[in-house]
A and B are shown apart, each in its own frame.
Chain A
């Protein structure tokens, strides 16, 4: 969150910004919180915490700029700084491993070449959701921000504090991993996956 205070809002302005620009995003915020924590109470805490911080730092929000991206950034930081610490989840352990693996170029296509668009279309919501949830949190996050919430790469770069190039490559890897999971479901569904070697 930017520490620069652009100006001070009056009490009426604060209320107007909070109700008009912040609260309409509560559904997306809760969905994001839930997909990060997989727990309704934790998601509620994260969202509540985010809105309280947003109110406290409202003077550093520039009216008319992207409130949703600003709020998502606060929620993401709260998740990293507080929730992960509380739950003693090791940060980035699985990510590092996966990142190294996927930096090797020849892995990419091989692993996903069997998955067909038709079999994806037939999948159930639960299967898609489980596949997404099974990804390491950094990969899951970029797919949520891009495909579920429709943020641009530039907005994602700001939310995640990473360069746009990293957004692009992380998304690409996240999608390869997601396809790998989906391919597992497709095989279970009995689709012919042409395994000839």
Chain B
């Protein structure tokens, strides 16, 4: 099943446990695994093509979410209104 032996150094084309691997990759991208995560990540990216692709796709999605998901400007009067109401209950 698992064609994992790759003496040529090429990435295997199939990942034996995509769900677990992808979830782990996402945790690493989310900064949840610190140094131990970096080691795992390096190894996966070097050895597994699906993990390699998934990593880059996830990274791209995070980037567009952060940069292109337009933040709605807060209505200017909102902060004033809140302060005013706080004054009233003080």
Give residues in A with beta carbon < 8 Å to B: 11, 18, 23, 26-27, 30-31, 34, 40, 43-44, 47-48, 51-52, 55-56, 105, 108-109, 112, 115-118, 120-121, 123-125, 128-129, 132, 143, 146-148, 152-153, 168-169, 171-172, 175, 178-179, 182
Contacts and interface: CB of A to CB of B under 8 A. Distances in A.
Contacts of A125: 68-70
Nearest to B82: A51
B85 interface: yes
Nearest to B32: A153
A152 B31 CA distance: 8
A30 to B, nearest CB: 4
B42 interface: no
Contacts of B50: 109
Contacts of A27: 71, 74
A48 B78 contact: yes
Interface of A is mostly: helix
Given A48-B82, A182-B61, A172 B23 contact: yes
A168 B75 contact: no
Given A30-B74, A44-B78, A48-B85, A175 B61 contact: yes
A27 B75 CA distance: 9
A152 B69 contact: no
Contacts of B79: 23, 26
Contact of A117 (B22, B56, B68, B72): B56
Contact of B81 (A48, A108, A146): A48
Nearest to B61: A120
B27 interface: yes
Given A44-B75, A148-B66, A178 B19 contact: no
A55 B83 CA distance: 10
A26 B69 contact: no
Contacts of A55: 86, 89
B64 interface: yes
The 10 closest A-B pairs by CB, nearest first: A125-B68, A117-B60, A120-B60, A117-B56, A30-B74, A147-B65, A172-B23, A117-B57, A51-B82, A109-B18
B24 to A, nearest CB: 9
Contacts of A123: 64, 68
Contacts of B18: 108-109
